[in-house]
Chains A and B, each alone.
Chain A
Amino acid sequence: MTLDIGGSHLDTSWFLLLSAILFVLGAAGVLVRRNPLVILISIELMLNAANLTLVTFSRQLQNLEGQLFALMSMTVAAAEAVVGLAILVDIFRTRDAEDIDDLSELRG
């Protein structure tokens, strides 16, 4: 399936593949990195990749709902970043938690 953008023909699956690659990179960041701040950044990367999928399908189906949902998802991402960073600042205030593995008090 091709999209006609300014006379050039781009494949829809290119956009979807790029989105998949970015999502997987974000997932790798969440799994591999141990700095809690970098984990939050990787989650933002995954949310951005999901937004690209939404906007791509919105353009493909010529249906505006995908773009509106991308807006909602940006709002949720902003709220998530604010609360996550507030929690991080609160944790860092009492001690140095450079490694997410140090935050293991909830272990049963």
Chain B
Amino acid sequence: MAIAVFFVAAAIAVLGGIGVVTFRQPIRSVLSLVLVMLALSVLFLLLSAQFIFAVQIIVYAGAVMVLFLFVIALLGPARELARGRLRFQTWLSALFVLVLLGLLWAMLQGVQYRQPEKADLSFFGTVQSIGVGLFTTYLYPFELTSILLLVAAIGAIYLSRRRIDDR
């Protein structure tokens, strides 16, 4: 059962990834990415990461992708021209990508997996265990991310403000 779920979700994720790269209209790329994120959230559930699953759907597929859709709606549909200025860009990119995939494949062959001692998964990845981790051991990085979000919000407001002096 789990194997079937994995392969269906993996196929959807790969097809969505191909769609992100190949669709000409940006809005279709965004919707393909939403598909990838939903498939990945199923995989997170398989890996007993319930909280990450919820965050993936709410924050990623919900908030971030809606932001992308809003920007596309704001800027209007923009079709990409078929040819670029750099003539060998596609071939060079294909070469680079194949080399990168081969490198990752070679690295996967050499991974030494370590078997953990404990085998209790009843609390693994629940909201409670994640919360305990975030608010005890990792409190400092957790607070730092709030500062990061504040900086990002201020930066976005500053960048997208209406300039009075140049119009």
Main secondary structure of the interface of B (DSSP, over half): helix
Which chain A residues in 77-95 approach chain B with CB under 8 Å? 77-83, 85-90, 92
C-alpha spacing A10/B9, complex, angstroms: 14
- Which B residues lie within 8 Å of A40 (CB)? 68
Our count of residue pairs bridging A and B at CB distance below 8 angstroms stands at: 231
- Which A residues lie within 8 Å of B46 (CB)? 5, 10
B37, B84, B134: the one contacting A68 at CB < 8 Å is B134
A103 near B: Cβ within 8 Å? no
Please tell me the number of chain B residues within 8 Å of chain A, measured between CB atoms.
83
Task: Tell me if A62 and B118 are in contact (CB < 8 A).
Answer: yes
C-alpha spacing A97/B19, complex, angstroms: 23
Task: Tell me if A48 and B96 are in contact (CB < 8 A).
Answer: no
Task: Tell me if B130 and A71 are in contact (CB < 8 A).
Answer: yes
- A77 vs chain B, min Cβ distance (A): 7
A24, A45, A71, A81: the one contacting B36 at CB < 8 Å is A45
